[in-house]
Each structure stands twice: as structure tokens, then as C-alpha cells.
Structure 1
Amino acid sequence: MSRITEVFLKKSNNVLNVYCTAGYPELNSTLTVMQALQNHGADLIELGMPYSDPLADGPIIQESSSIALQNGMTIQVLFEQLKDCRNTINVPIILMGYMNPILQYGFEAFCQKAVEVGVDGLILPDLPEYEFETMYGAMIKKYGLDFIFLITPETSETRIKKLDALSSGFLYAVSSSATTGNDKNFAEVEKYLQNLQQMHLKNPIMVGFGIKDHATFTAACKYSNGAIIGSAYIKALSSSVDIETGTKNFLQNIIK
């Protein structure tokens, strides 16, 4: 059983997954940020691998990726930073990124190294379903990594069920067909989440995009197992002098 699955067995709702960009705000901030997230209530850590053309990300995460790249963050550097992370980090770690730099690194080598350093799952928004089924899924499974697909309000029921069958860990329900960081009217999102709940899918549902405070976190969790926060946390980090204090204050306002 994966660490991700264990989280949902222990805590079936209000699960909090927080996204942070590796190498932000400083190159060597990665583990400090991860430790602070674990210390103050994050159930899952989604670690973004910075990329120059992050198609699913809004301006805040794009800027953090740009800064991280300028700082010198690469996949190789990230793996070096994570090699001893399991000495102190107990929560599941999910790597979120894009195929181009992973293919340059070597897909199987990437999966193997990810497992070696303690990674539990992958979110790769630009890996198509067909290529997952025919090329990469078997390799991901070989190394015991969970793989999380994204769905949107426009995804058909047939496709949702297919992506649910292919996913493990959880299913990432994007609150709308937009980039990260945009405000959402969660009254409009509610029906979408209710429909997902009524489908009795295999995987837990985590809601992402537009969750930024206690009110939106609570609304997102009403008809799901939990929520994913990214842009709002990156923004909080950018205005914090101290990572530990900034993370504590931010998460206390989410899960109060």
C-alpha cells in the first residue's frame, strides 16, 4: 500500500495537499519548505519541478518556476536535495511537472531515482492518456509510483471513469478549465463535485485550482476528500521573511 493511499485510509476527508516549487524561494529552500509544511498540517506535499513552459500553471506559479530555474534548480539537483529527505519527512511526496525535462533526463531513470529518494507519486499534466497506456504507465507501475490524472468540469463521464481506472492515489479534480491561481465561485463548482461523488469512483477526489483560504478549502472539501493549494501558498511564501513562520500562519488560516 502506498503512503498516499494510507493517508486517505486514515483521513477520509479534509485532506490537505500543498504545492510548493522546488528551489523556491531559494535553491536550497526545498527541504525547509517541505519540513515546514509537514510541521504545520499538510497531509501531502506536491513538489513542483520548475519548467520554462508550465501550461497548467497561472502567473504566480510560473513566476516561482522562473525564479527556481534562475536559482539553478534541475531534476538532478532536486534528486540530490531529496536523497535523505525520508530521515525527516514522513508525509507522501508527489512530483508535479512536465514531460520534456523528464524525457531529457530519461523516463525510466527518472522513475527509478524518484523512488530511490522517497517519492510516492507523479502528476504530469501533459502526459496523454494514450501514451500513458501504451508507453509509460507500465514503467510507472514497475517502480510502484502512484500516477494521478486530472479531470475538469468539461470531462465526459466516460472519460472520467477511464481516467479514474488508470489513476492511483487520488484523482485530481480541477475546479474549472483554467490555469492555477484564478478565483472560483465554489457554488458553481459544487454541482460538478456532487456529480463526481455520485459516480462512486475508485479513487479519492482532491480538488485543485482556486483554493486559497479556509472558506474555499471548506467549500472544496464538502463533496470531496480534500483540496490542493498552490498559488496562494507560493504567494504567502513570497511575502514571508521566514519560511517556518510564513507557512505556519498560512496553514493555520486554512485548517483553523
Structure 2
Amino acid sequence: MNRIQQLFQDKKDILSIYFTAGYPNLEDTLPVLESLEEAGVGVVEIGIPFSDPLADGPTIQHSGQTALNNGMSLKVLFEQLANVRSKIKMPLVLMGYINNVHKYGIESFAKKCSEVGIDAVILPDLPFQEYLNHYKDTFDKYGVSNIFLITPQTPNERIKLIDKNTNAFIYMVSSAAVTGVKKGISEAQLAYFDRVKKLNLKNPVLIGFGISDKTSYQETCKYADGAIIGSAFVKLLAQPGDLHTNIKSFVKDIIG
């Protein structure tokens, strides 16, 4: 059983937080992780900044460009994470675009993820069939799970196929839009959440995109195993004040 599977076995209503590595400052990656673990977050998605982030809204695009300007790269990130498992016990996921991984080398990337203790990766622009045909064996070799996104347009059969061939969690995109803070959950979204819940998948499901506060977190937890907050948290990182205190307060406001 991997760390992600263990987490979902032990806890309910998981809060996952996304942030961009190297933002707001290059050396903030580990302090942010430490603060999130202390605050009680279940799993963290560490964003690998990329110059052309197609699925990201303005907030995460800005954080990614700032991180790149700060000097963040995949090589630097792995250096920062070299001893992360001496301090951090919670599951860690790297999230980014396939171009960065190709540039680094697929096998080198999977091997390095395993070495530093990354549990899974999310590569939104990696087609699922291409993953099965060309990537899965390499990632399996190093014990690194792949997490795939589903949307309201994803057919049930495809969701079941993803569920059958993965072993971490399924990232349920709440709407067909880019990332960003949104207000309220529509009836159409609730019907979509309910449809997926009735599939009785073997993998847990986390809902992301547009989750920003306690209300939206609690609402999505009725339909899934937890929620992912990205843009609202990235906005917080740019606020004045003590980073550690701000992070703990943000998480407490959501999960109590």
C-alpha cells in the first residue's frame, strides 16, 4: 500500500493543496510544505512551473512565471526535495506539463521522483492511451503513480478505464474551465459529481478547480473523498505577513 492509499484508508474528507514550487520566493518550497503538514493537510501537489500552462488561470500562471523568474526548474526542485522525507511524512505529488518531463528525460524523472519520495505525478497534457502505451511501465518500475483528470465531458467507460489502470486518486475537474476561484456549485456540477459517485470506483476521488473556501470544500466532500484547493492558496502566498502563520490560518479556516 502506497502513502496515498494509506492516507485515504485512514482519513476522510481529505484536503489537498496545490502550490507552485519556488513561489513567492525560490527557497519557499520546503517551508510551505512544512507549514502545510503541520496544519493538517492530507496531500500536497507541488506545481512545476512551465512557460505555457494551458489549463491554468491567471493566478497560477502568474505564480509560475514568478517562479521561473526566480530561477525554479525541475533540476532545482529535485535539489530542494533531496531530503524532504526526513521532514515530511504526508503524500507528495508533482504536477506539471509533459514538456518539462520530456526535457528532463522520462526515466530520469521517474527515478528521481522515487529517490526523493514523490508518491505520484499529475501530467494533465499526457494522453491516457499514450501513458498506457509508452509511460506506465517506466513509472511502475519506480513505484510512482500517475493521477489523471476527468471532466464533466468524460464518459463513464473512460473513467472506469482510468480507475482500472491507476492506484492513487482520480482528479475530478469540477467544470470545463481553467483553474481559478469561482463562487458556488451549479446543479449541473452536482449532477456530474453524483454520476461519478455512483460508479463506485476503486480509487478515491478528489474534486478540484474552483474550490476555494470551507463552504465549497464541505459541499464537494459530500460527493467525493475530498477537495483540492489551488488558486485561493496561491493567492494567499502573496499576502503580507508571516508565511507559516498565514498558511496555518488558511487551512484552519477550511478544515477547522
- TM-score, normalised to structure 2's length? 0.97
Residue by residue over 1:192-219, the C-alpha shift from the partner in whole angstroms, topping out at 9 and shown as x without a partner, is: 1111111111110100000111000001
1:211 paired residue number:
211
Q: Is the 8 A contact 2:181 2:232 kept in 1?
A: no
CA RMSD in angstroms, aligned pairs only: 1.0
Equivalent in the alignment of 2:22: 23
Deviation at 1:32, TM superposition (A): 0.3
179-188 vs 240-249, which moves further: 179-188
1:166 CA displacement: 2.1
Q: Does 1:179 align with 2:178?
A: yes
Q: What residue number does 1:141 align with?
A: 140
Which 4+ runs in 1 deviate beyond 3 A? none
Amino acid at match of 1:93: L
Correspondence 1:223-234 to 2 at 5 A: 223-234=223-234
Instruction: Determine the structure 2 residue equivalent to 1:122.
Output: 121
After TM superposition, the score normalised by the length of structure 1 is 0.97
Deviation of 1:184 (Å): 4.8
Instruction: Give the Cα–Cα distance (whole angstroms) in 2 for the partners of residues 116 and 214 of structure 1.
Output: 35
Amino acid in structure 2 at the alignment position of 1:201: L
For 1:248 and 1:232, how far apart are their aligned partners in 2? 14
SS of match in other structure, 2:118: coil
What stretches of structure 2 of length at least 5 have no aligned partner? none
Asked if the contact 1:149–1:164 (Cα under 8 Å) also holds between the matched residues in 2, the reply is no
Shift of 1:33: 0.3
Which sits farther off after the overlay, 72-81 or 193-202?
193-202
Aligned residue for 1:98?
97
Q: 2: CA distance between counterparts of 1:24 and 1:241? A: 15
CA deviations 1:152-188 (Å, max 9, x no partner) are 0111111111122222210000000111114153242
Structure-1 residue corresponding to 2:32: 33
The code of the aligned residue for 1:78 comes to L
CA distance in structure 2 between the partners assigned to 1:241 and 1:27 by the alignment: 18
What is the CA–CA distance in structure 2 between the aligned matches of 1:165 and 1:147, rounded to whole Å?
12
Counterpart CA distance in 2 for 1:114 and 1:24 is 20
User: 2:246 aligns to what?
Assistant: 246
Secondary structure at 1:186 match in 2: coil
Matches of 1:107 and 1:119, distance apart in 2: 15
